Structure 1
């Protein structure tokens, strides 16, 4: 037929005939010829397949089990190594904080009340477990008040979170208790005698002692005074762990039944504490001592010490459990899953069993004998040496192995302190020493106490004092974990796989036998039926092909039309489903898909709006938080370009975020130019860096800032946040404390010098006056003695006049009187004498002083006070101030006179001007006297109030004027006096006088 095109229906009919009818006919012919051969071959291959399948099942089961165990072991090892390293870093950070405490303590005035306040503000929380008691059987310790099983269960509220949703309750039980960080703070003089001692517990005596004698130190074991005498200013001494050893006759659970088996009296409270093995035992009580010189006037005046409570160091390891339990208020050494700590020499300083911690004999001050290899212990008994000398003679880490025997006698004596250097029967010690020798970390697996244990080690990077000489720093943290705990799930799965494997192999063998029988039985029947079935199936296939092609093409056409309408945007269009066959299911699937897509598009649009609103709110809240902070906050990317800029940054720099964004931070914030190194270090290394007391000058005023750089670390380093804190008030307070202490010391020195000089000075002046009197020719007594000796007094006077002896005597008298005046001033202002106070108008006192100055004309210094311009800014609201008028006038006189000399000597020859300002400042009167002279450099400004310090020529000034002024204001009037000055910018004296004098 011309132009005929086959439809889908025709094509389907043809395809069905092609792929069904023809193959059926060909298959019948081939089947008839091959049926006998197939039977034999099939039997052989089925048997071989069964055998291969069984062997493959065994191999897969074995591989799955071993791979799972290895994967779990590796994953657990990595997690526990990380936990060990993190713990070591936390210990190091804690110890470094103690360095800051001792540095601060060395700057405090050595006063009991200040030390008490310091000690009371240093506290830290520890975890205490609830009481435990012996059970009725006497074979185990149990909680006295068992906690009820938590009835809380948290399940996923959101269906999308249901997959592997997992909830844990509180990680740790027990009670929190805040205790002092330090057992004591002391101030020790240069001879080793304690002058001040403040204690926080009864572990240390509260009576003053002499630490130069070892028997007056803790456990008679401290020898730190020898080390203190070696310290230079600014250096820190840190001791090793010192404490009394607590022994135990039992290693393991200390129960009534165990004591009975050993034939000992059951007294667990007299034995060393051991967590769940002995929760009522004696705890190890030790200390680590920090010390630092107290310096005044660049001289060491004594030493301040802080004794850290060793409990806080043990807290870092006592509650760690390297299993899914994670943490525990009470440790369990018998499980093999716990953390412990060693010092840099390899001595145990923290362990769930306190009797494993090395310590001292408080009666002798000698180290308690640690647990030794039996051979070493026998050698010690024969040596007649004390513990220290014998241990020093032993080789360290000598061929350590499981094959060596420990000393059973030491165990019976309860002396089982762990010193890795001599634990030759514990080869893990050599492993830890090897891993941490360069300050690193790692792990290995070892059999110990009947367990296969993973043991990790990580050095503690703390290098202050003696610990700076050790690569492993303060020591190292170790964690032991029972390896079987890691792959317990894999072991359970392996057993289940073995059971399944066995059943599977048995089933395959049984099925194989049945298959062989069935093949032989059906072989004959198949040949007969094949011919009949083939003919019938040809006819049926043709009919089915016609029917299916007609039905299928109609439904496909309807489905295509519906999809086309939905595709064109008719989102509400759905197919009319009239059947439940595959095409009907396909139609339902289309309708369901259309519903889901419609809902998804609607939800997506709504979610997009919600997310946009949330992002706007979150950004606004974050911006408000950052802008409300008193610190300057600046964010930078990895190339130091600005990404964040808060209000304080804008206030100090004068630039908005829009002006600073994407600019190099050093260009828009020049204050950080000098801190490039720490910023780039933080960006490159990912470490927090801090620089303190950075000094800058803004508008002729000094400011100090602390700069801290926090790297932003995700998968890499994404940038950093720079925090800049204004530390000006803190630095000024520190400088004021130092200046006050220095002036008090100078005052005491001046008083002592004055008393020592006064007596010989009086003798010099008196002798010079006597010489003058006894050479006068008009005195009768002189004439009588001269006549008796045949001397002509007039010639003697002429001789002495010509040789200028009288001039020399006058010089002696003048110099002596001048020195006497200096001594008088020193004595006057080094004493805190009573003053006569009256309420005075400060403005009037200033004017009276200026009036006196205007009448003073110093020809040598070209000082005519009338030529100096006075600008008065007096406050009319300033009340009368209680003062000693003569003394306060002397202060104003000294300041004005010095300022006048300075302005007259100013090489710039500007017109001299004094600006005097008074005001009410809270509860004190503020007086500011400013000149426009040459100013002072930093060194001169620092020493301006020291006695005898002067920048004037020799013989022009005594250097006592401002020193006396300082004592009048500070000591007599309980006020303050400070100076601000820069070279070429003039000088300003700032005086505060309290309105109430007690």
Structure 2
């Protein structure tokens, strides 16, 4: 018989079946729960890392795009304001011409009166000086390189070192005074010119019949028809009239490009284009003003003034809308420049003169403007002239960048810009749209491969025909490369992008480490769990039901603990009461829980790192505010300081820590609490501005503008103050006012001299006639005396006894002296005219002495007649080719300054001037020496600087010797030096070249 299991065996078998199988199932359940927990934890770690990375990228993107957008808006506002300010300045200038024509209408129609009127109306323009091709023949450059003013300037005071920024003086160009008007005419009611005075070879001096178009400027003016319809007091203003200048190429006109295009290199025959062609032909045009001349309520004729178009172009030719700000010569190739259009949309000012619309001077018809390819083909097929053809075209129709322009017109050099028909330039329609109601604005357009901001502003001048359009005289436009404004933001974006990449890489590394820890923990747990289960099965087999029951209770306790941990009680740990397999399993679980909790803690630390990045961004914003050139101060509603940038610290010497929470007016004494704009800005929630606050800093007058911006966030939280130093601008305004005063005085002196000359000539002539009529050796005198019954010899005896002849001689002598004074006044009043001629230097010196002895302004401070003048002129001096008026101005300034200086010690020594002239091989040397108090080295080194003066406020501008230096060195290519020692007087040494200047 076979083996039969005993009850013991069955009990053992049943125990094994009942206890071991559940034990295995329990081990599988624990493993499954731990695996599920690890997968869930890994998923959550990945999600947190991804969310953190996306948040970081989003913050970086928002910071970068916001920075670029803020710069775009700020730049747009600045350029829009520059455009509107330019348009307003042009309008004010044109309104001034209305005043001139009304003044001219009240003048007596007389050639001399008209000439005096034109002489009194002059205006400065800026010229760039001569330019030549470089050695490579691929670009133009100045013939005479300007002095390098870009000397390094660093902070002398350690407290000023932070963000210390210096800007070198800008390019000045050559300032030249030219007449404002090309001609002034008086026309009778039939159209015949009765009086004409011109100031330019551009205008014919011949009297013409303006009722005939072919006898007008460029054969293009039709203004007489308009004059006949003018009522008394009304003004006529023409469009810009001038001959069109062609071009042989668009862009830089260089030898290299000419050779490549297969054309002759003749830039002087092509239109002027600033730096692209500085030697080209300039557009020369005019704008004509006219109004009736009324006598006793009846129109007797018409007076006209032809404004030189150059003065209009000066408003836009030198504007640069980037950090360069200003240029003496325009550069169209950069894309950063200003230009101007008339009320019909025709270009009247551009850095490239060939883009200005004009007329054919031979026919008087408009020159063919630049047209699209389709329009020009239609024109060639029509039998119409260009004027009638353009009138047949729709204006601003479907303009688009995709439309081609006429290359044939480019080859012919006909590229005048008429916005109405530039169907390949959609920005024209944009400008027309912005200015249709007389307003202004801007937009961005892709042009020539660049993203350009372009602005437009109407010119509010509404006299005559320009009153029919809301845009007035026309509009000003400015173009600027948008990428120029993004450079600071691009740098910031790169820094943020680098920080973002580093942060994301750190998160990825930490995430990988966390995954590795979880996988290792899971693998170790599985190994240990398997071992523990096998051991427990063996023990179960060896131990009886009691041990199995105990084992079951412990497993139940462990499952509950795992469930609590899974529900989020991360601090929960199993209570280990034994060191057997179950105790080891509990320790393993606790170790795994510690690892998971540590991983979660590291994720929280990563979150803290993101918050630290936000703090860094705030610090960067603080640095941006500190780098601003203006003083920025923030205050709360009680005017206590909450923000204080670096410029505020430099100005006051107080750090933010010292002024935080303090009263604004205590921290920043420049602002006066009484009538301050801060309070109304906070109370009313409106921007307030206070201009030209004056104070004394380091013994110098300083001016500020203060603007208060309310902080509104649902409610008013305070205000931000911006304080701008405008001292330089104020000084420039004062200088311009002083210059205008001097010009007015010069014009008045010239007018007085002319008015005095006429009666003075009558006095001298009458005195000479009296002498002749009393002579006894003239037959006619004897005959007339005999007919009157008078003995002429006795009459002569009577005249001698009564000293009548001596009185006549005294009249003649006084008259001649007065005539000399008038002549000197005329010479000095014309010193702004640039007229070179051969002159004797000793004569100019003597004339200057005569003028300065009679100068009223000097007499207020110095009696020049008390100064001894010692002359030591070399005999037979060669005449010098110079501008007598300007050289006289140099002598005048030096003598005037010397006289002021000698009066300071006139009580200790008699004042003496020593004037010496010496002829050298290539120069005439003039020395003017005084015996005044002299100068120290610091004063001597600075006397030729603009605005530098040692006189008290109101006595001098500090410009006299600066202008003198410019006249001698720049205008005459000479030299001027000074020798001086304290207590030993001063000597000015001037050298003028014998060869002709220019």
TM-score by length of 1: 0.49
Answer with 1 or 2: which has the greater Rg: 1
